[in-house]
Amino acid sequence: MDLNRTFVAVQEAASKLLGLSDKDINEILSAVADAAVEQAGFILGENRKDLERMNPADPKYDRLQLTEERLQAIASDIRNVASLPSPLGRILKEDVRPNGLKIKRVSVPFGVIGIIYEARPNVSFDVFSLCLKSGNACILKGGSDADCSNRAIVRVIHEVLRRFQVDRHVVELLPADRAATAELLHANGYVDVIIPRGSSGLINYVRQNATIPVIETGAGVCHTFFDRYGDVRKGAPVIRNAKTRRVSVCNALDCLIIDANRLSDLPALCASLSDSNVTLYADRPAYKALQGKYPAELLQPADEDCYGKEFLDYKMAVKTADSLHDALAHIRKYSSKHSECIVTEDSLHGERFCREVDAACVYVNAPTSFTDGAQFGLGAEIGISTQKLHARGPMGLEEMTTYKWIVEGDGQIRN
């Protein structure tokens, strides 16, 4: 594949998107949603080829696996995106200057968005739907683990685009090799922004090697602090849901911090985790509190490497804090600025936690598993931004746009 030629074709296709109405886009998205379900046999067959190459015991297996139920959910998300208001052409600010100039700031597409992601084929559908709805063309660079699945999905999308006589280059899938990644990261003049989705290793590599703007997403080292004023009846299900709902996603819980005054409640807070065979890596006070009350084969002493680690597995660190101040210091040291939670019945502690924690999403008495574009009412997401420029948190349609200034005059000249 001549990637330079591909980049040119995608850029030209992006300019053609500006001629589509929101009604046209919604009809295409609805047709893609229908096709995802109608072509389930083909997509799942290709997905099985990928699954056969991965160990089912690998936590990433769940992220890679597609099912009829998941394809139905993906189709529902696409229809959801279609039903949302267009993010384009919104007047963000307007003014009439003393000299009569009319100035407006209007939302517009980026143009071409490059997405680099790992073994999550659902991302192919999510990215396409969000990019099309926001008027962007997209270049997908998936991992080799999901290459058969991604190619099947893009083929289905291309068939729909052909039916609507839309340039199929509005979505392109690059080869799964590293050389394609390198070329994408240096596609200056063709790609407007790169968004990596995946492990911290992937994100760091993209940030360090890209010569075009990058929006960092994905890596999540998430903490939950059980405060001295926490309610065990709320805390136990919050902790379980955050840890075990889906261990291979970025919003999964990695470290439980517990106030030293509540160590006697630690066994009750962690009891249900043993049902999912969650291994706990506990510091000395927490280990002592859990010993004999949590399965011995699932309890390990923690070392420094356990903290600041995104496990993406049925594993979790436990840290004892002497106070809220101590817990905040631990989060400040190890957080990836993704999602952080406090379980407390003290409103002042909750307010302080929200004020001082530097993260995209901060929770009080609710699990970090809610960090998701659909859960936030955004329809879907292209990723969770953990940086502070342009976008932060779940990136939905509004975050897929930039803006330009439009200035209307009547012959004024500047002195």
Q: Are residues 233 and 125 in the same domain?
A: no
Q: Are residues 127 and 201 in the same domain?
A: yes
Residue 182 inside a domain? The answer is yes
CA distance linking residue 129 with residue 79, whole number of Å: 9
Residue 67 inside a domain? The answer is yes
Q: Are residues 40 and 79 in the same domain?
A: yes
Q: Are residues 201 and 261 in the same domain?
A: no
Q: Are residues 288 and 318 in the same domain?
A: yes
Tell me the CATH number at 211: 3.40.605.10
Q: Are residues 386 and 356 in the same domain?
A: no
380 has pLDDT over 80: no
The whole-model pTM stands at 0.86
198 has pLDDT over 70: yes
217 has pLDDT over 90: no
CA distance linking residue 34 with residue 81, whole number of Å: 14
Residue 376 inside a domain? The answer is no
Quote the domain boundaries for residue 93: 3-217+382-408
CA distance linking residue 380 with residue 80, whole number of Å: 8
Residue 361: pLDDT band (50, 70, 90) is very high
Q: Are residues 160 and 288 in the same domain?
A: no
pLDDT at 218: 66
Q: Total domain count for the chain?
A: 2
Tell me the CATH number at 335: 3.40.309.10
Mean pLDDT, all residues of the chain: 95
Residue 414 inside a domain? The answer is no
Backbone angles phi, psi at 68, to 5 degrees: -60, -40
Backbone angles phi, psi at 268, to 5 degrees: -70, -35
Q: Are residues 94 and 23 in the same domain?
A: yes
Q: Which of 66-101 are b and which e, b meaning 16 or more Cβ less than 10 Å from the residue's Cβ?
A: beeebbeebbebbbbbbebebbbeeeeeeeeeeeee
